[in-house]
Amino acid sequence: MGSKKILLMVFLLTLILSIFITGYAKAEKKGGILANTPYVDPKGFFRIVPPAGWEIKEYPDDPRGKVAFLGPENNVDFRILVSVKDFNDFDTLYKNTLDVAKEIKERYGATVSVEKTTFLNKPAVKREINVKGQKMLGIEFLIDNVRHDLQYSAPQRVYQKYLSIVMKSIKTYEPLKKTGEVPKEHAIANRLRLAQLFFEQGNYVLAMEYIKEGLEIDPDNPKLKELKAKIESVEQTKGDSDVYEKHKGQRSIKQRPQKKPAEIKTPFSKEKILYIQSISEIVGEGTIIFKKGQKANSLKVHIDGIVPVAEGYKICLFCLDTIKIGPNMKIPIELFTLTEDESLKKYPFIPEKVEYKGFIVEIYDYELGDEFIQSGKNGAILKKKGKGFILTEGEAWLVKLNVGQNKGDSEFASGLSVKRREGLSKRSESVKEFFLSDFKPDYADAECAGTVLELFQDDPSKEDIRVLVKQGLLPIRNGQPVVFCNGAKHILKNKIRMKNYIFESDTKDPLQFLVDKEKGYIYLSGKGTITMPEGKVMKLPLTNRYR
């Protein structure tokens, strides 16, 4: 009997062990295993062994170390982002993470937790985010001034399923760069952004100066060369009337008779989609309402819906499926193109969509361009269908301007372009950029390119400034909106006192400045004076006696 009991026990132990091993193998197969070879970042920032079989998505146009490992199920991914920062202390990293977490909580209604931990024997920040059925785990740390951010994200129902294999992968993470200088791609991107901004402002001289700086860093940069060609084309066709009028011996463009360009009008149809190649194919859910603004040449736009986020942090803010246009209005086609939203880059995850509820944007002094939508006397309602529109109510037309209608017009334009280029050349020798270095952004990571603010002050003896957001969004830090965020444009109304500087704007042409993290407060346009802290008065725009 004793031997039978022993054999029975051995059999049972063998069976239990077999079940355990089989179960372990199934669990390992279910959760996944690591790949056989490590992934090495092409920019040289890190190395890691990813989960086996997960799709690798790279971002070759992004100067940062960036990769996404896409899991076997929808919305399951493991992302790594490594970037060079202008700080190298852990306290700043922790504070920035707390600020961003608070903003995510307020903006998206997320459940967020942030705590200090260690990773690779270094101080690190661990964050957990639960938002709209998606759960995220992030770990970030610094090596000198290089920030490493590792994030796992998955729907809550499968989050635990892949957590184990992701954590195994994280344990293989190996930083390769200890310190970093700002890559030349970042410097070029900054020049390009400023050049585009000044181009949009109509200040082609400063735009060309930034293009020149960028091409000195990268002579073959296609985007800078494209913008340069565009400016040269504008000089030839439109010119610079301000410069043209200022130079003696040259006849003012306003005094010359100009023929109105021919209009090619194509009606929108209820039966057939009218396609427009220049617009984005993105279509969000919701309604855009275009109304005339209170001021001349202004639009008031009501946005209520969900806008998809495209690759490269780009959105088409006005690309919702229903477009309502008021009576006898002209809407630039350019509004339906993709633009980069810098404010999205500060988040530890890339949202698939951004929701705008009761959002109002006012657009001033806009240019229609050579292509726009014109509504009829009763307005119009359009439905966006990919890269086109179909009419549902009212009347509307796609209008294209045919510039340079005949030989006489071409000769007339050519004759103007020569003199304008001469005037532009003379101005480029005398006009200099003006900026105040005391007005740099309050937070290094607060980005808000495209945001337009109007600043008021009831009592200039006190620094209690009122702010009206005309376009875009403001980041939140410590529960307060950040007015001096990188990329914001400020329109200063009447008399304002800031940091012992007194700004006095012309009532019809107020001073406008750009907040820039490298230079500070860059003058864009407008008329007025600035009284410096030491009492010196500067008049804008600059003239030779102030240089």
CA nearest neighbour of 323 among 301, 340, 339, 308: 301
Q: Are residues 15 and 38 in the same domain?
A: no
Q: Are 443 and 484 in contact (CB under 8 A)?
A: no
Check residue 488 and report its DSSP letter: -
CA distance 132 to 140: 23
CA distance 485 to 345: 14
β pairing state of 353-364 and 314-315: unpaired
pLDDT at res. 546? 31
Q: Are 153 and 75 in contact (CB under 8 A)?
A: yes
pLDDT at res. 183? 60
**Residue 157 is assigned to a structural domain of this protein:** yes
CA distance 519 to 541: 18
CATH label of the domain that carries residue 67? 3.40.1000.10
CA distance 269 to 324: 15
Q: Are residues 140 and 62 in the same domain?
A: yes
Domain that includes residue 369, residue range? 262-402
In terms of Cβ atoms closer than 10 Å to its own Cβ (0-12, 13-18, 19+), residue 204 is buried
Which H helix or E strand runs over 66?
strand 65-70
**247: which 2 tokens?**
């130079």
Q: Are residues 39 and 171 in the same domain?
A: yes
* Stated length of the chain: 547
**Residue 492 is assigned to a structural domain of this protein:** yes
CA distance 166 to 34: 9
Beta strands in 386-519 (DSSP E): 388-402, 435-436, 452-457, 465-471, 476-477, 480-481, 489-492, 495-498, 501-505, 511-516
**Residue 55 is assigned to a structural domain of this protein:** yes
Q: Are residues 153 and 48 in the same domain?
A: yes
Q: Are residues 36 and 171 in the same domain?
A: yes
**Residue 257 is assigned to a structural domain of this protein:** no
Type of residue found at 329: M
CA nearest neighbour of 485 among 523, 448, 524: 448
**Residue 150 is assigned to a structural domain of this protein:** yes
Q: Are 223 and 203 in contact (CB under 8 A)?
A: no
pLDDT at res. 361? 76
Count of beta carbons in the 10 Å neighbourhood of residue 387: 17
Q: Are residues 373 and 461 in the same domain?
A: no
3-state per-residue secondary structure call for 130-170:
EECCEEEEEEEEEECCEEEEEEEEEECCCHHHHHHHHHHHH
**Residue 118 is assigned to a structural domain of this protein:** yes
Q: Are residues 93 and 13 in the same domain?
A: no
Q: Are residues 169 and 118 in the same domain?
A: yes
**Residue 256 is assigned to a structural domain of this protein:** no
CA distance 185 to 64: 9
Q: Are residues 238 and 309 in the same domain?
A: no
pLDDT at res. 100? 83
**413: which 2 tokens?**
């334009």
CA distance 28 to 21: 10
CA nearest neighbour of 327 among 296, 292, 360, 300: 292
Q: Are residues 387 and 413 in the same domain?
A: no
CA nearest neighbour of 41 among 83, 85, 87, 89: 83
Q: Are residues 283 and 393 in the same domain?
A: yes
Q: Are residues 351 and 382 in the same domain?
A: yes
**Residue 266 is assigned to a structural domain of this protein:** yes
pTM above 0.85, yes or no: no
How are strands ordered across the β-sheet holding 465-471? 435-436, 520-525, 511-516, 489-492, 452-457, 465-471
pLDDT at res. 3? 44
Q: How many domains does the chain have?
A: 5
- In the block, which residue shows the tokens 């026990």? 9
Q: What is the mean pLDDT of each run of 10 residues along the chain (547 residues)?
A: 43 39 40 82 91 91 87 92 86 89 78 92 92 89 91 93 93 76 67 73 73 86 86 58 37 44 84 88 91 80 84 80 94 86 58 74 75 93 93 93 46 28 30 72 78 82 75 72 86 88 90 87 89 84 47
